[in-house]
Amino acid sequence: MNNFDLNKYFFEHNLKPTPQRLTIAEYLLNTTSHPTAEEIYQAVANKLPMPISLATVYNSLEVLVKVGIIKEVFTEPNKVRYDKNITNHHHFVNTQTGEIIDVEPYELLSEQLVENYLLKNPKQKFKITNYHITFYGELVE
């Protein structure tokens, strides 16, 4: 999504395209990393001509999640990360660096995963609406 699309998207979702929101959205759309609110705050503070508050970063992230431009990711305790990749996908955590990398889903496995759940938990009558896999591992030398 480029800057033009962003303005359009904001308009279509009744979001005022304020410099703060636009800069936060732009920052996220231009990184493959999964930054925290604090990291976004630091990066965006350096780009904006005016100052920005951390509250605005949290407020903006909330509305960007709400309109579906970004998603939240929980891979670690006590830390929320934000993700421009809004497709269904999974994450690989490099346990040496903390880096989080997107993993594309393998849809052929989905059915088997869900079937396995039903097999292993025959008493429970639940419907699985989605699932998320966190892979952990290390760089191979």
Interaction of residue 54 with Mn ion, rule CB under 5 A: no
Number of residues that bind a copy of itself (CB under 8 A): 39
Rounded to whole angstroms, the Cα distance separating 99 from 86 reads: 18
Per partner kind, with CB cut-offs from 5 to 8 A, the member of Mn ion, DNA, Zn ion, none near residue 85 is Zn ion
Interaction of residue 85 with Zn ion, rule CB under 5 A: yes
Q: Which two tokens stand for residue 52?
A: 């920005």
Rounded to whole angstroms, the Cα distance separating 84 from 15 reads: 18
State the residues that interact with a copy of itself by CB under 8 A. Answer: 72, 74-78, 80, 92, 94-95, 101, 103-104, 106, 109, 112-114, 116-117, 120-121, 124-140
